[in-house]
Structure 1
C-alpha cells in the first residue's frame, strides 16, 4: 500500500517537474523574443536617424552589428531595408526631376545604398543613367545576389527612364510595399507602351494582393471574435491603393457588423454558451452533418446557405440547432473581379422584376440579401421574354446569385425578410 502511494507521489512529482520545465522554457522563449524585438527596433530607429543625417559609415556599422547579433530578425531586416531604401530612391527620383537635388548628390546616396546589397539591378540601372562611367550588368535580376560582371552600359543618359520606374515598382511589389509600387508604376507614361502595359498589370495585382491581405487579416480577427478590431482594421485601409468606396471592403465591414450583433444577441440570450459559441464555425462549409452544431439562428423558420465552391444554394428549415435540408438550387455567382460577397447577411426586400441598363439584362423574382446583391432568375432581355444566359453551376454573374426561374420564384414566395443568409 505504502509502495503504491510512494509511486503515485513520484509520478506526480515527475509530472510537476515536467510542467515546470515547460513553463520555464516558454517563459525564456518569450523573454528572448521580446528582448530581440526590443533591441532590433532600437537599432533600426538609430539606423534610420543616422542614415537620414548622411552619416553613412555609422549607419552601415549599425546594420552590420544588427545582422550579426540578431539572428531571429534577419528576414525582417532585409524586408525593412528593402522598404526603406525603395522609399529613399523614390524621393531621390522626384528630387532630381524637380531640380531640387544635383545628380552628383543622388549618385553619392545611391552608391551608399548599393553597399547594402538590397536593390541590386534597379540601383545599377539608376546609377548608370546618372553616371556614364558606372558599369553594371543589365541582365541581373531584382533582389538577386549575383556579382555584377562589369558590362559597360553604352546606352546611358542623365535622366531616369521608364524602365527604372518599372524595375523599382517591381522591387516594391515583391516586397509587398504596394503603395510605393503603385507610385512608381503611375510614373510610367503611355508613350512607353510595353512598360505601361506591364505597369497596369502590376497595379491590378497590387490592389488584388492588398485586398486579399486585408480580408485574410480580418478573417483571423473574426475567428477570435475580435469584431470591433476587425471593423476598425478594415475601416483604416490605405486609400492610395484601394478606392475609399471599395465595395468588397464595405461589404465585409457590413458582414462583420452583423456578425458582432449576432454574437452579442446570442450571448445575451444564452449566457452559459459564451465559451462554446464559435463565430468561425459559421463560416466553414455547412452540411447536414454539422449544421446543428454551429448555433445558427434565423429570425424566420428558414435560413439560406450559399456554397461558392459548389455553386449551390441550400435552403434549411427549422430553428436553432434543429435544422433540416429542405431544398437545393443550382446557382451561378459572381465572376472573378465581381465576386459574390462572403459573410452573413439577411433578406431585406423583393420584387418581381428589375432591369439593368448597364448590362442590358434583367432578372425575375429578385430577393435582396445586401445592398444591390440579389437572388434572382437567370437573366432576361428587356421584354422579359428571352433568357440571355442560361449558365448555372459556374460563376457567370456580376455578383448576384442567379437561379432557375422556378427556384427564384420559390425563394420570392416563401423566404421572408429577416431570413439569415450565409455565403462562403
Structure 2
C-alpha cells in the first residue's frame, strides 16, 4: 500500500515542468558557495540540488562539501529533491519534536525508510552510512532488488548489488578491487551526487543506464590496469630483492653524529636491536639506522652476518628493461646504471625515462657485509685513470665516482699495476664496485657525468 502511494507521488513528480529539474548545471546557474569550484567533481550535482532548493549552504556562504551528513539531513534533501510532499500527523516517538520529524515521518510512512529498519529507533542525528543511503534511494525509486553475485569486495547483499546493477552507486576502485564501503559515512558532496544520479534515473532509467554504462567500462579498464600493475609488482618483488645488511646489536650502545669525534650522542640502541648498516669506515665504525634514528656506532657492538651467496638466477633482457621502465627511473644523461648487489651484476641501459634499452650487463664485485656498498640513487661525477690507497695497499684503474668515496673501478691492483685480487661475482670489496679492467675502462670512457646510478 505504501509503495503504491509512493508511486503515485513519484508520478506527480515526473510531470513537474522540466525547469524544476534541470538536466545539467549550466554557467547561468549562480554558484554562491565560496568553497565550490568548477573543477570539483561534485560541482554539478551540488549546484543542481541547490537550484532545486533541496540543499543549501551556511551563513558564511560556504557549502562545506566534506562535512558528513546525518540521517535526518539526508532524508530532508532526498524528499525535497524529489518534490515529495511532507506530511504531518504521523507519530513516531523516537523523532517527535525533532526539527526533521515530519520529513522522517513522511519517509517512514511512504516506505522510503522501511519500518522494519526504523524499528522504533531511527536516531536522526546519527551520521548516515553508504548502505543506509543506498537503501533509501532504492526505496524512493521503487527498484526491485537483484539477487546476484556481488560486484564488491567488501560487501555482499541485495542493497549494494542492486545499487550497482542499476548504476546508482558504482563504488570506488583500489588495488584492482571495487569497494562499496558500506559503513563509511557520507559527505554532503557524496550525498548530492548520489541523489542527482537518482533523479536522472527516475527521469529516464534506460537512458541513464546507457550513459552510466560508459562509467562502468572505464571502471573495468581501471580494475584490469591495476590488477596488471599488481601482478607486475609481485613479479618484480620476486626477481629484485633488497640487499640491505642487517646487523644485531650485542650490547647497549650509543649512537654518535660522527665516527671521528665520538662525543656528540644522537641516540641509543639496545642490545638485541637489529640495525641496517648504511656504510662503514675501516670496518671499525658503522653508520646505521633503525626506525627514524641514524648514527655512528662502534663495530665492537655489532654482530654482522656473513656475506650471502650470489643469486645466480639472472633476469631476462625483457625483464630488466621492463623493470627499469616500470620504476620510472630518470637520468640527466642518455645512460642509466643499475647495480644489482644480489646478483653481483651491473646493468647499463641507454635511452631515456620510460624507454630504457639494455646496453650491456657487467659482472662486478660489491662491498662485503663488513664494508657494504652504499645503496640508493646517485649520480656519476668525477673520474680518473688510476688511484692507489696505501692504507689498503691496493689500487685500481679507471675509477668513476658516483657517491663520495664510492667508485666504479677495476679489480684490485698493486702499486705496480699488477693484479692483486681478480675476484668478481661475489661481495669482495671495501665498498666500491669492482669491474674487470676492460669493463671499468668502458664505464670510464662512455658513462658521462650526470648519469643516474641505482645501487640496490
Greater per-residue helix proportion? 1
Scaled by the length of structure 2, what TM-score is found?
0.37
* Structure with more strand by fraction: 2
Which TM-score applies when normalising by structure 1? 0.39
